[in-house]
Structures are given as C-alpha cells and as structure tokens.
C-alpha cells in the first residue's frame, strides 16, 4: 500500500502558518515603533528648519553652496519619510504571506537610502561643476557667511548621535542608516562652511569654491 496517498502534498501551502505574537511582545513592539517614529520625526523637523534657513541665506546672500545644501536636505527629508514608512510596516504582525513578520522592511529601506544618497551626490557635484565653469565671477563673500552651514553641521551631528542612540536601543538597522545619513549631512555642511571661509579668503577663486 502506497503511504504517500495519506500525506498532504508539500505544495498545498507555500508558507508555514503565521506565528501569532504574545500580547507582551506586541506591546513592546508598539513601544519600540513609537520611540523610533518619534526620533525620526524630530530629525525631519530639524531638517526642515535647516532647509528654510539655508534657502533664506541663498536668497539674501546668493551662495550656491547654500542652495545645494538645501536641495540635498530636501531629498533627505523624502528619504526620511521612507524610513518612517518602513518602521511602521515592520511593526505589522505576521500574516499568511509573512509568517515570520515584516521586519525586513527596515534593512531594505536602509539599502534604498544608500542608493538615493549616491545618486544625489553625483548629480549635484556634476551640476555645480558645470555651472561654475559657465558663470561669470561672483561677488565678495562675507567673512561670517559660513555660520549658516556651520551651525547646520553642529545641529545635524547632535541629531545623528541622538538618532543612533535610539536605533541601538530599538535594534533598528533602518534608523541606524538614518543616523549615519545625518552624520554625512553634517560633514557636507561642514565642507560647505569651509568652502565659504576659503572663498572669503580667496576672492579670485570664490566662484569655483562656492559651486563646489
């Protein structure tokens, strides 16, 4: 007698049964998500303030380095919303299609952010270099104009440290990627501040320095 007739075909179910989460685990997950979302939202608010200040600086001072920093920060805000969405999706309980939960949303969001940063950096560098080669000489750059990107660098670094602490407490790879993203932005703003200082000291090269 063929015993295989009494066995359920292995292809009858593509995934195993969803694993229900105990109430205590679900509550801890909700608290974790609330902490991560709050931290990410705080960072987004700070970035929006920096964008407004840098756009105002570009309007009044005309420094392209401030415009580039503001545009980069605007893209960062959009990427941060992706991180927020990933954190919320990762909180969802297991279901029939995802019996072990939705935790992979977070690392995937972190990977996508890496591609966004790389693509934006290459585009802005190329655009500003070409613009510097085509435009006439710029006016004098004030000796204190560097304070705008310099202040942004300090705020972004402090935010990076706060976000990284939350990411480690919540074991969130997506939020950790966001923290290092803040640190990269802080370094970018620091370079912008150094560029404005250099341009103020070297007026004949101010146009090229301002665009790079």
- Burial class from Cβ neighbours inside 10 Å (0-12, 13-18, 19+) for residue 61 reads middle
Per-residue pLDDT of the chain (212 residues), as tens digits, is 454 455 544 444 555 555 555 556 567 767 777 887 888 888 889 989 999 998 998 888 877 778 878 887 887 787 778 777 777 776 665 555 554 454 565 566 666 666 766 776 676 667 655 555 555 444 566 677 888 889 999 999 999 999 999 888 888 877 887 888 888 888 888 888 887 887 777 765 555 555 55
Angle between helices 23-61 and 64-90 (to 10 degrees): 170
Q: What is the CATH number of domain 21-211?
A: 1.20.1510.10
Residue 171, sorted as left (phi over 0), alpha (psi -120 to 50) or beta, turns out to be: left
Task: Kindly report the pTM of this predicted structure.
Answer: 0.65
Domain spans of the chain, in order of start:
21-211
Query: What is the Cα–Cα distance from 13 to 88, expressed in whole angstroms?
Result: 28
Retrieve residue 198's tokens: 């250099």
**Following DSSP, what letter does each residue of 136-165 receive, concatenated?**
----PPPTTTTHHHHHHHHHHHHHHHHHHH
């Amino acid at each position: 007698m063929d015993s295989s007739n009494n066995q359920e075909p292995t292809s009858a179910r593509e995934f195993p049964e969803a694993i229900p989460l105990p109430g205590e685990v679900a509550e801890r997950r909700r608290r974790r998500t609330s902490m991560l979302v709050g931290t990410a939202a705080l960072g987004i608010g700070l970035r929006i303030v920096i964008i407004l200040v840098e756009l105002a600086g570009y309007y009044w001072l005309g420094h392209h380095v401030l415009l580039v920093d503001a545009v980069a920060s605007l893209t960062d805000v959009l990427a941060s919303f992706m991180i927020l969405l990933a954190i919320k999706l990762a909180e969802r309980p297991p279901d029939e299609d995802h019996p072990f939960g939705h935790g992979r949303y977070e690392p995937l969001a972190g990977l996508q952010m890496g591609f966004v940063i790389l693509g934006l950096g290459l585009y802005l560098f190329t655009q500003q270099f070409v613009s510097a080669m085509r435009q006439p000489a710029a006016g004098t750059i004030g000796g204190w104009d560097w304070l705008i990107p310099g202040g942004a660098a300090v705020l972004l670094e402090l935010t990076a440290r706060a976000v990284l602490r939350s990411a480690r407490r919540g074991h969130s790879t997506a939020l950790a990627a966001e923290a290092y993203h803040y640190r990269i932005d802080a370094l970018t703003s620091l370079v912008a501040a150094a560029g404005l200082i250099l341009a103020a000291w070297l007026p004949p090269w101010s146009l090229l320095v301002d665009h790079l």
